[in-house]
Chains A and B, each alone.
Chain A
Amino acid sequence: MNLKGRKVIALGERDGIPGPAIAAVVETAGAEVVLTLTQCYV
């Protein structure tokens, strides 16, 4: 799997790694984040 040029859905979770953190990381590899979500279970 190569992140460069791939479109990514960043599906994070509040109690784990949030979506925006995932997006910020994968973008450094050249991925294009098309959707960022952070699930929250309370």
Chain B
Amino acid sequence: MDLDDQTLILRAAEEHGRDGLIVVLGQPDSDSAELAAETVSKGDPTYAGPLAGVSLGLPVYHILEDVVREQVDPARYEAEVGLMEITLDKDSITAGLDRVRNAP
């Protein structure tokens, strides 16, 4: 993940607190989603950025996951996400996030 983005995420977590703060992803595949999820929950796995060794522990979801979709306005979801929903592999992305969420 871009080092500047890591800085902004770290700053947001410090400013708003980790309690009640979640991350919603929009990555196009399971590899990139898994990498982003690991970075914001367990720390930068490449040890290159400000989140290296920083376990923010933020809950992570993807915009395609049912737990998100069932809570939002369907028309707005269709307008903003509908086209990409058709082309992306939701099951693969969800499986990638589950690997991060269920890791010890």
Contacts and interface: CB of A to CB of B under 8 A. Distances in A.
Interface residues of A, number: 31
Interface range on chain B (Cβ under 8 Å from partner)? 35 or more
Q: Is chain A's interface secondary structure helix, strand, loop, or mixed overall?
A: mixed
A26 B24 contact: yes
A7 B71 contact: no
Interface in A17-32: 17-19, 21-22, 24-26, 28-29
Interface of B: 1-2, 5, 8-9, 12, 15-16, 20-29, 32, 36, 40, 58-59, 61, 63-64, 67-68, 71-73, 76-77, 80-81, 84, 88
Interface of A: 1-13, 15-19, 21-22, 24-26, 28-29, 34-35, 37-39, 41
